[in-house]
Amino acid sequence: AKSSGGNNVTWFRKDMLLSYNERLSMRTRIQQGMNSQEFSVHYQPIVGTQSNVISGFEALARWPQEDGSFIPPGVFIPIAEQTGQIVELTEQILARVSDDIPKLAQIGQEEKTYVSVNISPLCFTRGIVMDLLKEVHAQAQESNVVLQIEVTESLFLDDKTSAKDTLEALRALGIQVAIDDFGIGYSSLSLLYKLPVDVIKIDRAFISDLTPGTDAFKVADAAISLALNLNKKVVVEGVETEAQLAFCREKQCHAMQGYYFYRPKALAELMNLQHR
Ligand code: C2E
Ligand code: CA
Ligand code: CA
Ligand code: CA
């Protein structure tokens, strides 16, 4: 676990703190959780920088517990990835998203709303998810909603050609592809222009320290400029302050996601918010 400076510990993964036995029992619990449909999805609205209204949503897995608490995805997702359970879990999440799309379309405030789903690399090696994505995409089209998937750069490390081909095929159908957490992975900026992606999501670690003149600032600034120059849409994650918002405006990023605007919420809560 490595810190990227400040309080922002990007490389920290809670699963690393679990013992072998704890992980084993977590695997069993995840299976039980999936069998009894315990996993749910929250949606975090994403705000257009120009329009200043909700342009899309990111779907984020939630695992509520009987005592009212949540096990954070930072704990169960890495384990589900290690055990392969992420494939089934993603299927369940996509099914929820599919059901929720018509309502998300109503809450979205731009002409066309998009819904973004995180897809782990393992889901690409097991083809089932791709068929499901096509189904959800068809469903989304009926509601005039764009389906987007978020992949991490590690996808392109594991397997250079076939993942790219799959992404190209999905894009040809009209599914948008976003690179998630850009900047904290292996990425080489030089790789960016070769990747079949429409959207770059700038990791919040990049904008956590926005003091002009600092190296961190220069890196964020340069990464965003590069992405924009490559004609990618840029979404900045982790916008929490007015200063970060101003930075996104100034850089002319396309959209912003962060607690400054909205926290991830259950669909029912989002519906209430709309009628405020
Ligand atoms: P992510 O894909 O980078 O998702 C964004 C995370 O940042 C979410 O954490 C979100 O709640 C959080 N976030 C959003 N705005 C802010 C902000 O302004 N400040 C701060 N401090 N945090 C903010 P969450 O929901 O805990 O998810 C953590 C990670 O778990 C996700 O990071 C993603 O990598 C993974 N994950 C969540 N749901 C899924 C899923 O359905 N499938 C897969 N494969 N991974 C998922
Ligand atoms: Ca994401
Ligand atoms: Ca992210
Ligand atoms: Ca992240």
Ligand 1 atom nearest the C-alpha of 86 is 44
Would you say the CB of residue 264 lies under 6 angstroms from ligand 1? yes
Would you say the CB of residue 183 lies under 6 angstroms from ligand 1? no
Q: Which residue has the tokens 């791709």?
A: 130
* ipTM reported for the complex, 2 dp: 0.98
User: What are the tens digits of pLDDT across the range 86-98?
Assistant: 999 999 999 999 9
Q: What burial class does residue 222 get, using C-beta atoms within 10 Å of its C-beta: 0-12 exposed, 13-18 middle, 19+ buried?
A: exposed
pTM over 0.90: yes
For residues 229 and 245, give the distance between their C-alpha atoms in angstroms, rounded to a whole number.
20
- For residue 192, the model assigns a pLDDT of 77
Choose one of 70, 118, 136 to mutate for the ligand 1 pocket test, by most ligand atoms within 8 angstroms of C-beta: 118
Q: What is the DSSP string of 116-137?
A: EEE--THHHHSTHHHHHHHHHH
Would you say the CB of residue 238 lies under 6 angstroms from ligand 1? yes
Is the pLDDT at 148 greater than 90, yes or no?
yes
Ligand 1 atom nearest the C-alpha of 264 is 11
Would you say the CB of residue 93 lies under 6 angstroms from ligand 1? yes
pLDDT band at 127 (very low <50, low <70, confident <90, very high): confident
pLDDT, average across residues 48-70? 95
The one-letter amino acid at 194: K
- For residue 1, the model assigns a pLDDT of 33
Better-scored residue on pLDDT, 187 or 121: 121
Q: List the beta bridge partners of residue 40.
A: 62
Would you say the CB of residue 180 lies under 6 angstroms from ligand 1? yes
Which residues lie near ion ligand 4 (Cβ < 5 Å)?
Answer: 181
